[in-house]
């Protein structure tokens, strides 16, 4: 099992309990089964960014509280040098670097995301989360899925979309692709 997934799962469970959510009620709120939530909390299931973003919103915390266990403390500026950022390598085909991980009360969640080729060729599972998103292609080529529509993206292309619409991406040409993903919008929800 991936230690980072186990740590995120423990934090999810602790924050859920601190917020006084029972497991079944929280699972329903997240649109998953109680068994799926239990697997997440044990670190047995991989987390999509959409799930983490939605869970953080439901719990009233910053997404970094779940991802790292460290609450952001800065409110004026967060400098990240080239190649830096808070690394999240939760899935074999995706690696994320959070680019504002120390900034408190963010209006957006910026990530540099690298997607590796995935064998098989089946379309990836689509996810949703609150807000809007901008994805800007940095390198490689990627197929972007938005509901039933697909777009092939090259370096320099961007897509801005309602992230409440199911979406996913996969690489083209059998080579990794890197893009800047900026998730915008309020994730804070009423309990």
pLDDT of residue 1: 54
The string of pLDDT tens digits covering residues 25-50 is 999 998 889 999 999 999 888 877 78
The string of pLDDT tens digits covering residues 80-101 is 999 999 887 766 678 889 999 8
Whether residues 50 and 113 share a domain: the answer is: no
Task: Report the number of distinct structural domains present in the chain.
Answer: 2
Whether residues 92 and 57 share a domain: the answer is: no
118 domain residue, yes or no: yes
The dihedrals phi and psi of 88, each to the nearest 5 degrees, come to: -125, 110
Tell me what the mean pLDDT of segment 152-175 comes to: 95
Q: Which domain holds residue 141?
A: 86-184
Residue 107's CATH number: 2.60.120.10
Q: How confident is the model at residue 162 (pLDDT cuts 50, 70, 90)?
A: very high
Q: Are 58 and 189 in contact (CB under 8 A)?
A: yes
Whether residues 57 and 128 share a domain: the answer is: no
125 domain residue, yes or no: yes
Final residue in a domain of this structure, among 17, 36, 68: 68
């Amino acid at each position: 099992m991936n230690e980072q997934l186990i740590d995120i799962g423990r934090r999810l469970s602790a924050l859920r309990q601190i917020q006084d959510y029972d497991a079944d009620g929280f699972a329903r709120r997240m649109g998953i089964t109680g068994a799926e939530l239990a697997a997440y909390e044990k670190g047995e299931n991989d987390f999509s960014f959409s799930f983490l973003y939605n869970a953080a919103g439901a719990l009233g915390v910053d997404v970094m509280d779940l991802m790292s266990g460290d609450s952001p403390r800065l409110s004026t500026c967060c400098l990240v040098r080239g190649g830096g950022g808070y690394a999240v390598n939760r899935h074999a085909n995706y690696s994320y670097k959070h680019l504002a991980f120390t900034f408190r009360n963010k209006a957006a969640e910026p990530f540099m995301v690298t997607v590796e080729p995935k064998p098989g060729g089946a379309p990836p599972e689509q996810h949703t989360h609150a807000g809007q998103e901008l994805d800007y292609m940095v390198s490689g080529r990627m197929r972007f899925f938005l509901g039933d529509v697909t777009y092939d993206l090259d370096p320099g292309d961007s897509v801005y979309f309602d992230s409440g619409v199911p979406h996913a991406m996969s690489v083209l040409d059998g080579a990794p692709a890197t893009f800047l993903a900026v998730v915008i919008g309020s994730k804070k929800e009423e309990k």
